């Protein structure tokens, strides 16, 4: 769907008011009011956009990123504060904030201007060697986990509770399991979930990305070239960053990812739990556009769990 045609009834987390209409016209007005030096630069929709934030090209080298609802607004300050700190500690490029916008032109939240990073999203299937991609991603995440955590934001509402305990989503997961009892192998799925809850995290808090998904991974010449969208990042349990093992990787590439990242059994179990939760709530939602993705991810999780149990 073109960004200029976004519905005004899109919402953020439950209980929030409808999100503002975010289109190229709004971006032009905000830029002209607050950053007149860029007012003549063209504004264009990005080809692949996210849900938490709307992103637009600003000229050839900048991007404008606007939270889509109040529940995501705190991510702006976090990325502005911490991306410049993290970037020098990481082996691949990440977005670099250039400026922070304020509410205006009828838009109620702060927003960001960042450097544009070239590349195609991994969702487009431009990965040359999936095992090499998995290894590169694991090394990036290992570097992120070694980054200095002093003063970093502890996992919580700002990270959608990524990096926190899976128990946050226990009730929601069990509701989804009940709703899907005639559509998924509930007994096995429940065993995956309970194993994840039982796999206690005993490590020290580390930096996590929070949304390691194909849409946030850029590829150039077949290789991982940059990592986007740190809106759900924070300091806590890194198990949530292993979900890519079941949403994209398989076979040798999954094994390479786990080995390069040095994931222990408990963290792997919690990672399966994060993937299971997301797949189930998508499948339980009516007419989800991501149902096929959820079915594949769920099948991968259940198969992996059963293979380890044999």
pLDDT of 136: 98
Domain limit, last residue, from 60, 82, 117: 117
pLDDT of 5: 27
Q: Closest by alpha carbon to 201, among 236, 242, 246? A: 236
Work out whether strand 97-101 and strand 62-67 pair parallel, antiparallel, or are unpaired.
Answer: unpaired
Same domain for 95 and 27, yes or no, is yes
What CATH number does residue 31 fall under? 3.30.200.20
Q: Closest by alpha carbon to 159, among 225, 238, 277, 224? A: 238
Same domain for 103 and 137, yes or no, is no
Same domain for 186 and 237, yes or no, is yes
User: 0.85 exceeded by the pTM?
Assistant: yes
Domain limit, last residue, from 60, 89, 117: 117
Same domain for 96 and 177, yes or no, is no
Q: Each residue's pLDDT tens digit in the chain (310 positions)?
A: 223 222 223 334 444 545 578 999 999 999 999 999 999 999 999 877 777 899 999 999 999 999 999 989 999 999 999 999 999 999 999 999 999 999 999 999 999 999 999 999 897 678 999 999 999 999 999 999 999 999 999 999 999 999 999 999 999 999 999 999 999 999 999 999 999 999 989 999 999 999 999 999 999 999 999 999 999 999 999 999 999 999 999 999 999 999 999 999 999 999 999 999 999 999 999 988 899 999 999 999 999 999 988 7
141-157 burial, b at 16+ Cβ within 10 Å, e below that, comes to beebbebebeebbebee
Same domain for 126 and 57, yes or no, is no
Give the tokens for residue 128. 């040359």
Helices (H), 147-290: 170-179, 186-198, 244-247, 251-261, 265-284
pLDDT of 46: 87
pLDDT of 152: 97
**232 CB-contact burial (10 Å; exposed 0-12 / middle 13-18 / buried 19+):** buried
Q: How many Cβ atoms sit within 10 Å of the Cβ of residue 289? A: 9
What CATH number does residue 300 fall under? 3.90.1200.10
Same domain for 258 and 153, yes or no, is yes
Same domain for 126 and 69, yes or no, is no
**Number of folded domains in the chain?**
2
The H or E element that residue 165 is part of is none
Same domain for 136 and 266, yes or no, is yes
Domain limit, last residue, from 59, 82, 117: 117
Same domain for 250 and 262, yes or no, is yes
pLDDT of 19: 58
pLDDT of 255: 97
Domain that holds residue 180: 121-309
Beta bridge partners of 206: 236
Same domain for 99 and 126, yes or no, is no
Same domain for 295 and 175, yes or no, is yes
Same domain for 96 and 40, yes or no, is yes
């Amino acid at each position: 769907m073109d960004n200029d045609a976004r519905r005004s009834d899109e919402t953020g987390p439950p209980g929030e008011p409808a999100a503002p209409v975010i289109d190229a016209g709004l971006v032009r007005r905000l830029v002209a009011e607050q950053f007149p030096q860029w007012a003549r630069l063209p504004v264009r929709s990005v080809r692949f956009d996210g849900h938490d934030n709307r992103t637009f090209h600003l000229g050839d080298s900048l991007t404008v990123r606007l939270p889509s609802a109040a529940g995501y607004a705190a991510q702006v300050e976090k990325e502005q504060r911490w991306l410049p700190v993290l970037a020098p500690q990481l082996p691949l490029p990440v977005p670099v904030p250039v400026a922070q916008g304020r509410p205006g032109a009828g838009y109620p939240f702060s927003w960001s201007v960042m450097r544009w990073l070239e590349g195609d999203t991994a969702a487009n299937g431009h990965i040359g060697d999936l095992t090499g991609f998995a290894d590169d991603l694991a090394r990036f995440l290992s570097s992120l986990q070694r980054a200095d955590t002093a003063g970093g934001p502890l996992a919580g509402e700002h990270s959608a509770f990524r990096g926190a305990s899976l128990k946050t989503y226990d009730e929601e997961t069990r509701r989804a399991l009940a709703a899907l009892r005639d559509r998924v192998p509930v007994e096995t799925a429940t065993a995956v979930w309970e194993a994840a809850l039982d796999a206690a995290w005993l490590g020290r808090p580390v930096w996590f990305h929070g949304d390691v998904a194909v849409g946030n991974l850029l590829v150039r010449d077949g290789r991982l070239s940059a990592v986007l969208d740190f809106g759900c990042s924070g300091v806590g349990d890194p198990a949530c960053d292993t979900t890519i093992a079941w949403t994209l990787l398989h076979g040798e590439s999954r094994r390479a990812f786990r080995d390069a990242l040095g994931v222990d059994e408990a963290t792997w179990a919690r990672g399966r739990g994060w993937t299971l939760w997301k797949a189930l709530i998508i499948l339980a939602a009516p007419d989800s556009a991501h149902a096929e993705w959820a079915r594949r991810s769920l099948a991968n999780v259940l198969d992996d769990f059963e293979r380890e149990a044999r």
